[in-house]
Amino acid sequence: MDNSIFFAAFRAAGFLKPAVYKPGQPGEKSFDCQWQSPDMLLLADEAQGAEFLIEFQTADLPPLRIDDRIDVDGVSYAVRTPPMKKGDAFFSTVALKPA
């Protein structure tokens, strides 16, 4: 099955956010991603925070490095963790932090 049909359908339905990978050199690369910002408990459940995650088609981006810059829907973030491939590796998820 061609998994790219899912992103095409998600894009058409408005479920994806525009993003731009900005490595500095050789240049920027636009792609679409699913944005996730789940709440999480911190400090022995005494504080609440949010994690910033994007899911993207693995082939859309080169290997990401910690602190690479990605703008999502016009807001700048930096890569916080190495990307994690999902299932058959067609899609990957990466955690971001405010840049």
**Residue 38: per-residue pLDDT:** 61
Q: Which amino acid is at 23?
A: P
Give dist(CA 73, CA 98) in Å, integer: 13
pLDDT of residue 42: 60
Q: What span, in angstroms and rounded, lies between the C-alpha atoms of 54 and 23?
A: 17
Per-residue pLDDT tens digits of the chain, which is 99 residues long: 678 888 889 889 999 999 999 987 778 899 999 998 766 666 777 767 778 999 999 999 988 999 999 999 899 999 999 999 998 999 999 999 998
CATH classification at residue 8: 2.40.10
Tokens linked to 95 = 């955690």
Count up the domains in the chain and report the number.
1
> Which structural domain, as residue segments, surrounds residue 64?
4-98
Q: pTM for this structure?
A: 0.83
Segment (H or E) for 85: strand 84-86
User: Can you give the pLDDT at residue 40?
Assistant: 65
